[in-house]
A and B are shown apart, each in its own frame.
Chain A
Amino acid sequence: MEYIVETKDLTKKFPNKLAVDHVSMHIARGDIYGFIGKNGAGKTTTMKLLLGLLRPTSGEMSLFGSTKLDEGRIKIGSLIEEPGLYKNSDAIENMKRFAILNGGDVNEINEILDLVGLSGASRRKVREYSLGMKQRLGIAISLLGHPDLLILDEPINGLDPAGIKEIRDTILKLNKEKGVSFLISSHILDELAKITTRYGIINDGRLVEEIEADVLNERCQTNLKISVDNVNKAESILKENNLLNRYEINDHELVMFDHYEEAAKINELLVKGGVKVNGLSHSDMAFEDYFIERIGR
C-alpha cells in the first residue's frame, strides 16, 4: 500500500522528556486518521515533527512517498494547537496573506469562508471572534491551495454542537468529494468515531496500535447487554446452553462479549426459562473502554 505519511522509529527527546518514542505511523491516501491519546501522550509533538516545526531526535519520515519533506509539506494544510491568526486584521485579510504563500484567489477565499460558515463575519476583526470562529478560520486557512492532506490538532476544541457538526460535515465532504486525507487528533472520541477510517492510539510517546475503524467497530460491537429481572438465573441458563464464555454482570444487566449475533436465540431461551427480558442492546461505550484498555489505565 502507498502511504502519504509514513514514519519509522520517529523519536523526539526533549531535555527532560521522551515525547515521541519510536513511532512508526502509516497514513494511506484517502484515510481519515484519528490520532488518539491522553494529554501529553505525544500527539501534538508527532504532528509538529511531521510538519517540520520540531526536529526529530532520530527516525525517518516520508511524505507522499518522498523523503524530500519540504516538498511534501507544500501539499499539507495544518492547524496545530491554537489557530495562527493576525488578530488585528479581518478574516479576508488573513486569508489573502496566506493565499500569497499557499495559493488561492479571491473566489477560492470566498468559497472556503462560505464552506466554514464565516462569510457573514469575514470583515470583522479576528480579535472579536469567538474561539469557535477562530478555529474555523484556522481550518479555512489550512484549506488554501487545495491540500492533499490536512493535519488538524484538536480541530473541534471550543466549538458548539452546531459548529462541531459543520466541521465534521466539512471534513467528510472534503474527504469524499475532493479526496483530501486527514490526520486528526481529538479528545472527543465519539465525534472522532463518526468520521475516522483508521485509528492510531498513542500513549506515553509510543504508538500502541494502528487499527482500521471497521476492525475496531467489530471488536467494540461484540458486546451485547441484556437487562433481566433475575441475572443469576439468566447466567445459569446461558451457561447450560454454552452461550456464556466472556461476560460481566452489572446489577440487573448481563454484558456478553461473544455470541452477540445470537441475540434472538438468547432472548428465546431466557423467556422459555422464565426470565423476564427487559432489554437487549449493543453497547456503544466500548470504544472508550477499548481505548482506556489499550493505554493501560
Chain B
Amino acid sequence: MGKLLRFELRKILRSKAFYVCVAISIGFLILTLVTAKVANDALEAIGQPTLTLSGVFFAKSAISNASIGMISAIFIAIYVCEDFTSGTMKTIIAKGNDRTKVYFSKYIISVSAVIIWSILSVLVAFLIGTAMYGNNEALKDNVAVIIIGQLLGVLAYHSLYFMISYSFTKVGASIALNLLGPLGVNLLLNFGDTLIKSDSFKLTDYWIDGIVGNFTASTTNNKLIISGMILLVVYCAATAIGGWLIARRKEI
C-alpha cells in the first residue's frame, strides 16, 4: 500500500489539472470577495444597510464561494479516469497490485488533496477578508462547526464523485454525471418537498446540499447540526464502500 500511496502522491503533485482547478477555485473566491465589496459600496452609496463583512465572514463561506463542490467534480473525474483512459491501470493491476489497495490509495490521496484545497480556500478567504475588512468578533460563533460541517460536505461529495468516476471510467461521462447527478437528486427532493408540504420535515434537509446549507443558516439548531454531520459521514462511508465494491469486481 505504501508504494501505491507514493505512486499516487507523485502523480497528483505533478498533475497540472490539480493546480489549474485549485487556481480557478481561488480565483472564484477572490472574485466573490471583490464582488461583495463592490455590492456593499453600492448599498452604502444609496444609504441602504450594508453587510457586516470580515475575515471570519468570508472564511465561513469560503468552501462554497470557491465552488469546490463543482470544481472538484471535474478534478476527481480527470484524476480517477486518467488511469483507465490512458491504460495505465492495466499496468498497475497486471503487476499483482490488489484492486482494493489501488482503489483506497487513490481515494486517500485524492481526498487529502481536496481537504488541503478546502483548507487553503478557507485560509485565503480569511486572510484577504481580514486584510480588506478586519475582523468582527460577533461572527466568530460556531465558526469551527460551520467549517467542519462544510468539510464533511466536501468529503461526502468527493466520495460520491469518486464512486461515479471509478464506475464510468470515462472523463466526459464522469464529469457530466458528477455535475448533473447531485443536481438531479436535489431537484427530485425539492419536488418531493413541494408534494409533502411540511414545514417541520423536508427531504432536502437530508441531502448533502441541504445539510451543508443548514450548517451556515443562523436558525439551525444543534440537533440538526449533529444529525447532519452523522448523515454526511454515512454518505461518505456508503459511497466509498459502494465504489470499492465496484472497483474490486472491475475487469479492465
Q: B-contacting residues of A (Cβ < 8 Å)?
A: 48, 51-55, 69-74, 76, 78, 80-89, 93, 96-98, 100-102, 141-142, 151
Contacts and interface: CB of A to CB of B under 8 A. Distances in A.
Given A89-B14, A100-B6, A72 B96 contact: yes
Interface stretch (B82-90, B135-143, B204-212, B237-245): B82-90
Interface of B: 3-4, 6-7, 10-11, 14, 16, 82-83, 86-98, 249, 251-252
B3 A101 contact: yes
Contacts of B96: 52, 69-74, 76
Contact of A101 (B83, B92, B251): B92
Nearest to A141: B91
A189 B4 CA distance: 38
A72 to B, nearest CB: 7
Nearest to B6: A100
A80 B95 contact: no
Given A84-B89, A85-B86, A53 B94 contact: yes
Contacts of B93: 51-53
Contacts of B98: 70
A165 to B, nearest CB: 25
Given A53-B90, A84-B83, A102-B95, 4 more contacts: A70-B98, A86-B88, A98-B91, A101-B7
B3 A82 contact: no
A153 B248 CA distance: 24
Contacts of A69: 96
A47 to B, nearest CB: 9
Contacts of A73: 94-96
A102 B249 CA distance: 23
Given A74-B95, A100-B3, A101-B95, A84 B86 contact: yes
A96 B9 CA distance: 13
Given A52-B96, A100-B3, A100-B7, A78 B16 contact: no
16 contacts: A52-B94, A53-B251, A55-B249, A74-B95, A78-B94, A82-B87, A84-B89, A84-B91, A85-B86, A87-B86, A88-B16, A93-B14, A97-B7, A100-B6, A100-B10, A142-B91
Contacts of B14: 89, 93
Contacts of B3: 100-101
A152 to B, nearest CB: 12
B90 A84 contact: yes
Contacts of A100: 3, 6-7, 10
A96 B6 CA distance: 11
Contacts of A89: 14
B27 to A, nearest CB: 22
Contacts of B6: 100
Nearest to A79: B91
A101 B4 contact: yes
B4 A84 contact: no
A81 B94 contact: no
7 closest residue pairs by CB, A with B: A73-B96, A84-B87, A51-B94, A84-B88, A70-B96, A84-B91, A53-B252
Nearest to A84: B87
Given A53-B94, A69-B96, A74-B96, A97 B89 contact: no
Nearest to B9: A100
Nearest to B89: A84
Contacts of B90: 51, 53, 78, 80-81, 84
A207 B96 CA distance: 25
Contacts of B10: 96-97, 100
Nearest to A72: B96
Contacts of A141: 91
Nearest to B102: A101
A53 B11 CA distance: 22
A195 to B, nearest CB: 22
Contacts of A151: 94
B104 to A, nearest CB: 15
Contacts of B252: 48, 53-54
A87 B15 CA distance: 12
A69 B95 CA distance: 10
Nearest to B17: A88
A97 B14 CA distance: 11
Contact of B97 (A76, A78, A97, A101): A101
A52 B94 CA distance: 6
B251 A78 contact: no
